[in-house]
Amino acid sequence: SDDGNRESDERVAVLEFELRKAKETIQALRANLTQAAESEVPSQERKNFKSSPEIQEPIRPLEKRALNFLVNEYLLKNEYKLSSITFSDENDDQDFELWDDVGLNIPKPPDLLQLYRNCGSALPLPRDMVDVAVGVDFGELPGNYITQDPPKKPDLSQQQQTEVVQELEYQISLLNSEKQSLAEQIKKLQSEIQTLKRSVSSPPPATLDLGSQATSNLSTTPPTDNGQYLDIRGVSEPESDPDPPSTQNTPHPHPQSHNKLKSRPPVQFDQPNRKLSPAFQQALLSFCRMSSDSRLGAEVSRIADSEESVMLMLGRCLPHIVPNVLLAKREELIPLILCTACLHPEPKERDQLLHILFNLIKRPDDEQRQMILTGCVAFARHVGPTRVEAELLPQCWEQINHKYPERRLLVAESCGALAPYLPKEIRSSLVLSMLQQMLAEDKADMVREAVVKSLGIIMGYIDDPDKYSQGFELMLLSLGDPSERVVSAIHQVFIPAFAAWTTELGTLHTALIPSLLARIEKLLTQGEHGLDEHKLHMFLSALQSLIPPLFAVVLQNAPFTSRAKLHGEIPAIEGRASTDTHIPSVPSVCSVSSLPQLIEIVGRINVTSSTCVHEFSRFFWRFCRTFGKIFTNTKVKPQFQEILRLSEENVDATAGNGILTKATVPIYATGVLTCYNQEEDRKLLVGFLEDVMTTLSLSHAPLDSLKASFVELGANPVYHELLLTVLWYGVVHTSALVRCTAARMFELLVKGVNETLVAQRVVPALITLSSDPEISVRISTIPAFGTIMETVTQKELLERVKMQLASFLEDPQYQDQHSLHMEIIRTFGRVGPNAEPRFRDEFVLPHLHKLALSNNSQAVESKRIDIATQLFEAYSALSCCFISEELMVNHFLPGLRCLRADMEQLSPEHEVILSSMIKECEIKVENRGIGDAQGSVSIASSLVGEDAKTKFLSKMGQLTTSGAMLANVFQRKK
């Protein structure tokens, strides 16, 4: 057998040498043919082209093939892969991978781009360098354009040359066939050796008597490809015959093993009973057109004979397949890529395949990313944590800064999806660091959102207590994120997971909640110079998300847990808690929940900050709802009531009750008393608000805490009736101080309450108060009447209010009521710009004119300056409105002049501004008189002179009163 091998090898070497020589000869002849074909243009045609350059010479075969090659090369280089495939299909007679296929020994020109750039100075082709007319000797030509000796018979006709080429090609095909036959024999021998070796080690009964038979069949049986591939050139594999003829004596196939590569037994075919010579038979078969000499041809001609060879073949083919599959369909390749990456024996190939997977789609959409992630998880389950770390994670790391957000999103999502399949030390170090970096640096909201979700998953798997502080910092970092979707993700995924871990660690109520409370306290301490409301919201929202896990901790530690019985699948938490009159071991509950500290913090909040009040109210509402009604009634309410100490004996007109002016009032009212909505709860809320209103009024305390309660409750229409009930209690109260408060509170309700309620409940109450024996109560109704004029649309209602305001202004009994006039002017300035135009024109402006005129004759200087300053604010606000020419001349300008007369004596700074305003108004009136059609332009829009503006602004800086309204004048230019 060894001798046979040596002889075969030598013979193959000789044949290969002969084949090489034959190919060189063909090359030389084809080059000659190419040149001859190109130069063979009929002489008459050539003359035509010279005399008429506009007639274009027809394209020659060589030119066509060269241009085709260059075009295809351009398409591939510039990512037009589909066009390239189509183009190749349309020119199936040309091999675009090989320039020599264009015409052998023709130098390759520059690519299309270079040709285009140099089109002005045409690049000389080698053909142009040879002037045929002078008969140059080939040896004298520069370079190596002709590598072979010139043919001995250059005058051969083209037909003769073609015949020579065909003859040589036929000879080569015979040599090829002979080479192939010998190669197959070598493989057959090798295969037989292996079979014999196996037979010696463990001989199956069926093969013992086959030695001679097998040897006799050697020359006729096509071989297998060394147990790796089945060669399919001219051979097809039959289905296994259920009853094979005994003459074939096929050895039993060995069972396939996944771990050990096994070869199949040789496949045998019936041989024809003919006496053709092998050479003739091979010559016949050579007419089967097969392309086993290209890369793809080689793959196609070998069929994998085992799992491993399938993997090797897929590993080679997939990188060539992927770029040519439509982007929208590339996910169809994921199973193939994954399967190959799982089972391929070569680490480099596996790495390339996983790289292809992560780069499969340029910008994968949600569905495509889900498919890739599903694949990653399947891969991870299959290969285990070590390979996930070694093979998948580097792919993630590589793309952490990819320019496309969709690719970074894939990385962020992968970190979460792979978390359960990673070694735990990698999970809590490398992956955590990757996500932390992306959270801090990535500019895309959707990426940071995915990062937060993946961090949440990591928190569900982490078991290193040292990572607690890193988790806490990550929570704060995400809570401060500017994107709503990121913040939503932290409450939805991260905080529940983090809280579950801290519960296991026992640090939820000993570290996590106290550290958030400490941050809130620090904020409030610094808040004297302006509270950072965003941060407060951040910390409080985190606390709110921690309420359910806190409740779980309380339940786990409560004594009744051992006695609790579950009914069905849903734990009846509310029911369980109510089996006892209250939760046992309450001191521990209160300390666990940090309730006393929270209530104490509430007292330090700025009551005028509606955001703070709203945030804390929501927190307490959620807290009370979670811990249940009994806990709220027995433990939360008493702690608030003890601090608020509302009782008759505490109503001290001199001392007052300091805590009632704090945010504790609105937070208790809206966060605790509104949790449960039964009749008794509603009564408690009404009673509390009535007590606060009474106490604050009688002690002359600021009403901010009551206002905050009304604003927070008034935002929900459910409480409108209840608030009106509270105010009616004030309307009919015996103390004028309480009635004044009720009148002022109506103003807050008017904007939120529907018009029917305003007509039925608000206006009648205000009319009642407007005829109160006490003048202070009547004056207190003015802001509410003004707000009605600003917000209501019902005509009858507006008329009633206008009549009431007119009586305040025109009734002789109010002629000297300084406070009333101040309140009316303040209200006009506030509601005038937004009120109905007719009300402004027919009521507000004429009455302001009258008030300005009467102020000129005011004897008491302090009253005169008060009214003048208030008028200045009102006129500044109204100057932004459109005022008709008639009103301007009859009321607005005269009113301003009266005001200027006061200011000349009282405040020269105001007088300068008023003079400029008057001048501008006068110019506007003159322009309109000349026929200026821009009638809709407001006074404010005319204040455009840079000098005037500079003077205004410099003077405004010196004013002691608020010039805010006037400042708007400069911002509202059209």
DSSP string spanning 798-858?
HHHHHHHHHHHHH-GGGTT-HHHHHHHHHHHHHHGGGS-HHHIIIIIHHHHHHHHHHHTT-
Taking CB atoms within 8 Å and a gap of at least 24, the contacts of 537-541 are: 537/611, 537/615, 538/476, 538/479, 538/480, 539/479, 540/615, 540/616, 540/618, 540/619, 541/479, 541/487, 541/491, 541/615
Q: Which amino acid is at 228?
A: Q
Backbone angles phi, psi at 973, to 5 degrees: -65, 145
pLDDT at 239: 42
Indicate the pLDDT class of residue 590, thresholds 50, 70 and 90.
Answer: low
Q: Give me the chain's average pLDDT, please.
A: 77
**286 vs 494, more confident:** 494
**18 vs 974, more confident:** 18
User: What is the rounded distance in angstroms from the CA atom of residue 199 to the CA atom of residue 208?
Assistant: 8
Instruction: Find the range with the poorest average confidence among 13-27, 508-522, 542-556, 587-601.
Output: 587-601
Give the other-Cβ count within 10 Å of 888's Cβ.
19
Q: Which amino acid is at 11?
A: R
209 CB-near residues (< 8 Å, 6+ apart): none
Burial 930-947 (b: 16+ CB within 10 A, else e): eeeeeeeebbbbbbeeee
Q: Kindly state the tokens that stand for 769.
A: 């108060």
Supply the DSSP symbol for 237: P
Query: For 420, what's the count of Cα atoms within 13 Å in the CB-facing half-sphere?
Result: 8
User: What is the rounded distance in angstroms from the CA atom of residue 458 to the CA atom of residue 431?
Assistant: 9
User: What is the rounded distance in angstroms from the CA atom of residue 37 to the CA atom of residue 162?
Assistant: 11
Q: Contact at 8 Å (CB) between 455 and 439?
A: yes
**734 vs 203, more confident:** 734
User: What is the rounded distance in angstroms from the CA atom of residue 532 to the CA atom of residue 521?
Assistant: 12
Indicate the pLDDT class of residue 965, thresholds 50, 70 and 90.
Answer: very low
pLDDT at 674: 92
**69 vs 649, more confident:** 69
Length of the chain (residues): 974
Q: Strand, helix or coil at 219?
A: coil
The CA angle 57-59-64, to the nearest 5 degrees, is: 160
Strand partners, 229: 225, 304
User: What is the rounded distance in angstroms from the CA atom of residue 348 to the CA atom of residue 900?
Assistant: 90
Q: Which residue has the tokens 């229409």?
A: 717
Q: Contact at 8 Å (CB) between 524 and 604?
A: yes
Q: Residue range 460-485: average pLDDT?
A: 92
Supply the DSSP symbol for 493: I
Asked if pLDDT for residue 159 goes beyond 50, the answer is yes
pLDDT at 200: 66
Averaging pLDDT over each range in 46-60, 198-212, 616-630, which range is the top one?
616-630
Enclosing H/E stretch for 304: strand 302-304
Backbone angles phi, psi at 230, to 5 degrees: -100, 125
656: left (phi over 0), alpha (psi -120 to 50) or beta: left
Q: Residue range 573-583: average pLDDT?
A: 40
Averaging pLDDT over each range in 64-73, 244-253, 605-614, 930-939, which range is the top one?
64-73
Q: What is the largest CA-CA distance in the chain?
A: 144
Work out the percent of the chain whose per-residue pLDDT is above 90: 23
pLDDT at 706: 93
Indicate the pLDDT class of residue 707, thresholds 50, 70 and 90.
Answer: very high
**How distant, in Å, are the alpha carbons of 357, 379, 382, 401 from that of 351?**
10, 13, 16, 20
pLDDT at 191: 76
The CA angle 332-336-342, to the nearest 5 degrees, is: 140
User: What is the rounded distance in angstroms from the CA atom of residue 203 to the CA atom of residue 907?
Assistant: 123
Enclosing H/E stretch for 302: strand 302-304
**505 vs 163, more confident:** 505
Q: Which residue has the tokens 């006892």?
A: 580
Q: Contact at 8 Å (CB) between 197 and 227?
A: no
